[in-house]
Structure 1
Amino acid sequence: MKKSVLLASLGLAVGMAGLSSCKDYLDTKPEDFVAPQDFYKTEAQLTAALMGVYTKLGQEVTYTGSTEESTYSRFLSLEAPSATDEMLARSNTTPAVSQYGYDASYGNLVNCWGNLYEAINRANVLLESLDRSTATAAVKDQIRGEALFLRAYYHFVLVSYWGDVPLKLTSTQAATDVNIARTPAAQVYTQVIKDMTTAEGLLKNGADWGNSGRISKTAAEGILCRVNMYAAGRLKDASKYADARTWALKVMNSGQHGLNPDYSQIFKNELADVYELREAMWEVEFNGTGVGSIYNEAGRFGSTLGVRNDIADKGFMQGTYVATGVQYALYGTGDLRRDWNIATYYYPSYDATKGPTAYASTYTWGRYINKWRRENETYRPYAKNLGPTNWPLLRYADVLLMFAEADNEVNGAPTAAGVAAINQVRRRAYGLPIATPSATVDVPASLSKTDFFNRIKDERARELAFEGFRKLDLLRWGIFLTTMKAMIPIISTQAPSSSNNALGYNGRTSSLVPYQNVSARDEYFPIPSNELSLNSAMTQNPGW
């Protein structure tokens, strides 16, 4: 998070280093930060405790040289939602979630689970301590709303990736409180929706914050739309589409949000520490480069995605992930998003001082992802791996597309409102006025329910490319495994057979690995092995 938010957590910073990997993370004792009887009294203390809940979103905190990147700093933003028909890792020789060749002891997975439950416990301690505070009722209501929302959001991430997970609504009181059974996913979704709905009634508008790092009323409404969309698909409960539609309409009718007319500017703003509250509704905030201050919370995804460049003072980028040829082909002629999201160039010898050199127009498979470009970072000097680029959790374009999808499901066919929503996104993509109809770009109103859904499915892939949604979308639509297996003949016949590392491509054999490895068990992550060993009430997901 940025300094304006992070400094509020000064009183907590030193005591909140990550727990040992051998610890049961459902047993996170309140002593991990400050004893409740001595804290949670003033508004400043409550805000500091709340920042301790927020900070787990990023979790690339530097404490005397140690780092973690198990949530949105890199794992939840890049590895967890890969590989799909959208993107894959450039190299698939090392066990990783992105190549579907890992097990329940895999470090990033274990740490992600642990950090999510540690955040939930922090939220519970804060919620249980609020009534003892001398802060005003208005302050306590606001903090209660944020803490409730965050507790719900962390549970939402867990249920999305692990399915049935323990629902933890009270803080851990004793070291022996370790045997906690899994809660059915439907019950977890119900509680998530309940908590977020309560929070929505307590939260401020985004303009009151002046930043997109703290959850706002309309951002909560947008996430509630997403939660209901996921519940509709994963639980096969079509009634949730009506609720999703209602929450999206609240955002759309608020008058607070709209599309930035320049698609690329959204991501330039995230690199340059600029808030743009109309479209960028909620972000994971990162600050600094992790050098020189323990209060810096810098992210790693910005140096992981991008055109590979080994020159540190030119913005080092690993170029770990590349776009598939399927993703490249989704974009129509004139769609400006393609050449922003997917690189049009590479650096010879991975040296930014020698380029850029344009890709041949016929080279469409395995290009680098280029949505966040480190040259647009304003923080100097560059650090090799860490930077201040924010990660988007919710954009207004996503709300429009979710509304169009939910509206289509509720009405059994596209309506004028649903068509208008998707067409705003499409017009912006082609550099056209967002409010002006276009005969060449607009989706027609005469499509069937199925045809309109297919348009939305592809539009989400184009608009939200590499923002961490494709895998979860495929899962909620029930087409994850078939989509993944369909990639095998495509790669086998369309992708170049030999590697060309200079261009970012490791060859057909490497590219095929995740699609050959993936199986039905990969619809959910395995419960971490350390949790199973310490929690006798825990059971493993099928196939693991």
Structure 2
Amino acid sequence: MHSLPTKLTAGALLGLALLGGCGKKYLDLQPVDQITTQNFYQTESDALQAVTACYSQLGVGGQYNYALWGIGEIMSDNSFTGGGGGGDGAEEIQLDFFNIPTTNPMVGRLWGGCYVGIGTCNQVLQKVPGIAGMNEAIRKRSLGEAQFLRAKYYFDLVRAFGDVPLILVPPASPADAQIPRVPAAQIYAQIETDLLAAIGNLPGSYGGTDLGRASKWAATGLLAKVYLTEGKLAEAATQADAVIAGSGKSLWANYGDNFQVANENGQESLFEVQYVNGLNQYIVDGLGFVGNEFFAPRGQGLVPQGGYGFNVPELEFVQGYEAGDKRKAVTIWAPGDLYPAGSATTAQPASLPGSPYGFNCKKWFVGKVNTNVWDSPLNFPVLRLSEMYLIKAEGLGATQAGFDALNVVRTRAGLPPRSAANTPDFKAAVVKERRYELAFEDDRWFDLKRTNNLVTNPQLLAKGIKPFNIVLPIPQSERDANPQLVQNPGY
């Protein structure tokens, strides 16, 4: 059996030394030993380590451990910065109030992390086909994993920045990486190509220590989401329905079971970032998830460092829950919520530092893992089956099948079904359902953007959003390295 993607840290670090990304700073890395791209890709074991490196960027600062919660949530109407006030979380405050310099660290980490990930995928796709004596099933799977992950990284890039450089083979020199941006439509076409290829290459499921790798159904689910983003509604519904019908997955009866360490890679999961914990130091580039500490109520002592209180639910978001929605208690700390037994404080206060109304993000709360360990082993779900029902619903529209798909999610949440009689705007109802089903899973900003509700959103208008904030600035460090990168208007 082969280890989980994020467990092979040596392979991940090696991949970073062998990458061929975009931007001079990612191409000038020198091998720290005698391993090079010329002598590394020789065996099946080499291929597996290289594929592991393709996953490595998902779990660190350029994706789910830092950048995406600032862009996906704090830049949306779901949450605001929180923290300790003043300049605490300055980069998040910049995003929160749409005063985003081209040096914003979260923006820079997203761009850089995606291109590092793309670089490792490109290496696999170039080198693995030529490895002699490799098990053909493992070769096919390895190529599918790289295709899936390259598509995922490009999907984040194109949604966040619009036109971006398209690099499909490792650049032979830094000069080869100095290429201009191409139209977003070309990026989406490549994403579709990669995902369709991945669907053909990947197995439907895994077992043992391979659990957590990208499957055929992860690729199909991501393709459904890509089609939805492009406005290809019928295609999105078809792919989402394929996952529902063929994956063998099912919803947990209890929504909160999706966010328990014991249930990782469980019955509702299509793909998630694999985390293990063990650090007692402040770092977002380790193997554990930092949301347990960053999002916990500030200074309440529920987590090893006391809780930093970032990513605080907006009052309007909290007030938008329908009565009886079972997801609310799973997703947020609200005043009066009881803390775990043994806590110094018994319940969530009515207000606390960084949260004047007493709300905090609860979905990623694990508590004092191993007493003093700073990070968390809780995986981060990238795709869940419930989202496939919502994509199917949005794709089908206000048909009976569309309502049926929507109501699968609502029923699990403890909410009454929707029908034509009580739903004057079906698409708005589905998008709202996405807001509460996927809250704090880093989707909301992208949903507002794709539905053309971003720059007209009342909460975001009050924070100063401007029409050009439909995309993020190209990081200045990347423009310094690549003079052909033209800045997005307004920045």
TM-score scaled by length of structure 2:
0.88
**Other-structure match for 1:355:** 345
In structure 2, the partner of 1:24 is 24
Q: Secondary structure at the match of 1:201?
A: helix
Counterpart among 452, 456, 459 of residue 433 in structure 2: 459
CA drift of 1:357 comes to 2.5
Q: How does 1:264-413 map to 2 (within 5 A)?
A: 264-268=256-260, 272=261, 274-290=263-279, 297-309=287-299, 311=301, 316-345=306-335, 353-358=343-348, 365=357, 367-375=359-367, 379-384=369-374, 386-408=375-397
Structure 2 CA distance for aligned equivalents of residues 472 and 87 of structure 1? 14
In 1: Cα distance, 2:476 partner to 2:293 partner: 30
The residue that corresponds to 2:223 in the other structure is: 224
Distance 1:445 1:212 in 2: 41
**Is the partner of 1:481 in helix, strand or coil?**
coil
Instruction: Give CA deviations for 1:475-514 in whole Å, capped at 9, x if unaligned.
Output: 000010111xx127xxxxxxxxxxxxxxxxxxxxxxxxx8
What CA distance in whole angstroms lies between the structure 2 residues aligned with 1:383 and 1:464?
A: 27
Name the structure 2 match of 1:111: 109
> How far apart are residue 389 of structure 1 and its match?
1.8
Give, in whole Å, the separation in 1 of the partners of 2:348 and 2:336.
7
Shift of 1:255: 4.9
1:420 corresponds to which letter in structure 2? D
Q: What SS does the corresponding residue of 2:381 show, helix, strand or coil?
A: strand
In structure 2, which of residues 412, 418, 438 is the aligned counterpart of residue 443 of structure 1?
Answer: 418
Task: Decide which of 407, 428, 446 is 1:423's aligned counterpart.
Answer: 407
Among 456, 459, 484, which residue is 1:482 paired with? Answer: 456
State the Cα distance separating 1:308 from its structure 2 match.
2.3
The offset of 1:273, in angstroms, is: 5.0
Partner SS state of residue 187, structure 2: helix
1:445 CA displacement: 4.2
Match of 2:250? 258
The aligned counterpart of 1:499 is: none
Compute the RMSD of aligned alpha carbons. 3.2
Confirm or deny: 8 A CA contact 1:30 1:173 kept in the other structure: no
Aligned counterparts of 1:164 and 1:51: Cα–Cα separation in 2: 28
Within 5 A, what are the aligned runs for 1:244-255? Answer: 244-255=236-247
Moved more, 77-86 or 330-339: 77-86
Cα displacement (A) at 1:70: 2.7
Aligned partner (choices 457, 467, 473) of residue 447 of structure 2: 473
Distance 1:382 1:389, change over 3 A: farther
Aligned pair in 2 of structure 1 residues 221, 447: CA closer, same or farther (>3 Å)?
farther
Listed as ranges, the matches of 1:6-21 within 5 Å are: 6-11=6-11, 13=13, 16=16
Tell me if 1:524 matches 2:471. yes
The aligned counterpart of 1:123 is 121
Q: Which amino acid aligns with 1:316?
A: G
Pick closer, same or farther for the CA change 1:526–1:278 going to 2, 3 Å: same
Q: 1:186 to 1:313 in 2, by over 3 A?
A: closer
Identity %: 27
Q: 1:12 to 1:253 in 2, by over 3 A?
A: closer
- Write out per-residue CA displacement over residues 450-486 of structure 1, whole angstroms, 9 at most, x where no aligned residue: 6111211211111111111111000000010111xx1
C-alpha separation in 1, matches of 2:442 and 2:7: 29
Q: Which runs of 5+ in 1 are unaligned?
A: 60-68, 233-239, 409-413, 431-439, 489-513
Contact (CA 8 Å) 2:252, 2:258: kept in 1 or not? yes
Q: Following TM superposition, by how much is the alpha carbon of 1:341 offset from its aligned partner in structure 2, in angstroms?
A: 1.1
Measure how far apart 1:259 and its partner are.
Answer: 0.8
* 2:395 aligned partner, one-letter code: A
Measured at CA, do residues 264 and 202 of structure 1 come closer, stay the same or move farther in structure 2, by a change above 3 Å?
same
**For residues 11 and 258 of structure 1, what CA distance do their matches in structure 2 show?**
33
Shift of 1:212: 5.7
Distance 1:473 1:30, change over 3 A: farther
Instruction: Provide the rounded CA distance (Å) in 1 between the counterparts of 2:337 and 2:409.
Output: 32
Q: Which moved more, 1:364-373 or 1:49-58?
A: 364-373
State the distance in 2 between where 1:536 and 1:441 align. Answer: 55
**Residue segments in structure 2 that go unaligned for 5+ positions in a row:** none
Partners of 2:295 and 2:211 in 1: how far apart? 22
Within-5 A mapping of 1:25-64: 25=25, 27=27, 34-59=35-60
Equivalent residue of 2:382, what SS? strand
Amino acid across the alignment from 2:52: M
CA shift in 2, pair 1:31/1:283, >3 Å: same
In the TM superposition, what is the alpha-carbon distance from 1:446 to its structure 2 partner? Answer: 4.6
Q: Per the alignment, do residues 458 and 200 of structure 1 end up closer, same or farther by CA in structure 2, a change over 3 Å counting?
A: same
TM-score normalised per structure 1: 0.80
Deviation at 1:522, TM superposition (A): 1.4
- Aligned mates of 2:58, 2:482 — CA distance in 1: 25
Q: Residues 229 and 326 of structure 1: is their aligned pair in 2 closer, same or farther, counting only changes over 3 Å?
A: same
CA distance in 1, matches of 2:302, 2:364: 17
Aligned partners of 1:157, 1:209: CA distance in 2, in Å?
A: 30
Partner of 2:98: 100
Shift of 1:277: 3.0
1:387-427 Cα offsets, whole Å, 9 max, x none, are 2221110111111001100111xxxxx22221111111111
Secondary structure of the residue that 1:374 maps to in structure 2? coil
Relative to structure 1, is the Cα distance of residues 241 and 179 closer, same or farther in structure 2, using a 3 angstrom cutoff?
Answer: same
1:169 to 1:30, Cα distance in 2 relative to 1, 3 A: farther
Amino acid at match of 2:100: Y
Residue 541 of structure 1, aligned match among 471, 488, 491: 488
Q: Deviations over 1:268-316 (max 9, x none)?
A: 2xxx253343212111111123359x99612212211132235376563
Residues 211, 444 of structure 1: alpha-carbon distance in 2 compared, 3 angstrom cutoff:
farther
SS at match of 2:80: strand
More deviation, 209-218/114-123: 209-218
The 8 Å contact of residues 212 and 280 in structure 1, kept in 2 or not, is answered as: no
Judging changes above 3 Å, is the alpha-carbon distance between structure 1 residues 73 and 95 closer, same or farther for their aligned structure 2 residues? closer
Give CA-to-partner distance per residue, 1:94-138, whole Å, 9 cap, x none.
343233223111223223211211111111111111122121221
Q: Is the 8 A contact 1:92 1:99 kept in 2?
A: no
Cα distance change, pair 6–455 in 1 and its aligned pair in 2 (3 A): closer
Question: May I ask how many residue pairs the two structures share in their alignment?
Answer: 474
1:198 is aligned to 197
